[in-house]
Each structure stands twice: as structure tokens, then as C-alpha cells.
Structure 1
Amino acid sequence: MQVCCGTISSYGQFLRSSKFDELPQLLNILLGQMSFVGPRPDVPGYYDKMEGEERKILELKPGLCSRAALKYYNEEALLAKQKDPLLYNDEIIFPDKVRMNLEYYYNRSFFGDLRIILEVVVWKLLAVRY
């Protein structure tokens, strides 16, 4: 997991923190390569570590938003506070994301996706406001 190391411009940092850097993924959605809701793509190599039932997540198209993405919206800042960011990601964050994405896999539905989209919209509105 890469933590911001000071090499990102203030404009780039704004794009990342506001998630505007993810707008090009809308093209991937239009091309059918991604969906609005689904597991976020992770750092290369992490999904290779999954075994057994966890690999069911790979059957889903990657998504622009998910409950795990909402929970860890500030993942870089969270990791920056850790003594060993890689270990924290490996033992805490990634397993929790896998658990949440498996829950999504087994319980996904049209109305469930709508609810996640609404949660993202409300979160963004509140984040802009405060």
C-alpha cells in the first residue's frame, strides 16, 4: 500500500482527496468494464493472495463505489498514522474489505446497489458541507 510521500502536487492531492481523479472510471462503466457498485480495484498483488471463498469477489466487476470504499475513504491518512502501514493494511484493512465485499457478493441486489449509491451521494454532500 503506498502512502502519500510528498511527491504529489497540491492540485493532485485535491483531486485525490475529493475523488475527482476517479472520474475517468465513468468511461470504464460505459464500456461495461466496471459497474457503479462493486468491489474497488486494489493494489496489484493483493487479490492474488485470496483463497477459497474469498476468490468469489473476483467474479464481480470492479465498481466505482462500495461499502468498503466508504468505510475506508480516508485510507491513505489512516495508513499514514500507523507505525507499520503495510502490516496494518495486510492484517486489518484488506481482510475487512474482503469481508465486506463477500457480504456484498452474497447479498447484492438492485435495491442494495441503489442504497449504496445513495449513501455515497449523502456522504459526498456532507463531506462538501463540512
Structure 2
Amino acid sequence: MATQNGWQQCKVCKRVVELEQGCNHITCKCKAEFCYVCGERWKTCACPHWQEERLYNRANAIVDRANDAAVINEAARQRRVEQERLNLIENHECTHERWRGRPGPRECEECLDVMPLFIYECRQCRIMACRRCRYNRL
């Protein structure tokens, strides 16, 4: 069923993962790293690091969650999307060393829990993570 839906299965723990946006590098909850395209251990295949559509989806999601997203004009928005796309390419193997707090209720992109007061955002790749995921999963 996973293959039919375009999902990938971790060869270590057998969890099924679905990638909607971002690069093809998957780090499973069991810490195994693999390619989303072929399922092989990360950096052992010749698959591309990302697919443009997923990269643009991720860049759009980052721009849309900005505090001023509702008030910027379309040309400025497209410039930001392109800037984020380039940032994602540059930081596709981010080690998440620089974080900032983002106030307000936000959803953790790792465990999907909603944090009512604030969440951490990586300054390099822009992933948002709760405290538990920041310190234990990333």
C-alpha cells in the first residue's frame, strides 16, 4: 500500500513516511537516514536531493507563515518564495544549530503537537519544532 501511494518505508523500523515538501533526505524517528525516492541509505544513491515541486511547496509554506504574509504584495511574496527556495537548497543538510522562539500557538513539524505559547524555529532551514523534538529528534 505504501508504494502504491508513493510513500516510503524505513528499512530499519518499517515505519511508513510520506513526504509532502522539502528535500528527499528522510530522518526516521528511529534515527535511520534514507532517500525518500529509492529507500536506500542516505547518500548511497544517485537520486536527486530534492524535487522542485516539493521545494516550492516548502518555500511557500515558510513564506505563508510569516507575520506579514497577509499584507505583502504578490511580487514581494514571489521574491520571498525564491529566496526561501535558495535557502532550502543551501541548508538541505541542516544540523539545526541556531534556533529562535516564535510566539503564539504553532504546530510542531515533527510530532504535529500544537504548542500554545511558542515554538522553536531553526534559523537555517526554518523547521519549527517543539522543545521535545528539538532536543530529542532533530
TM-score normalized by the length of structure 1: 0.33
Larger RCO, structure (CA 8 Å, separation 6 or more): 1
Higher strand share: 2
TM-score normalized by the length of structure 2: 0.31
Higher helix share: 1
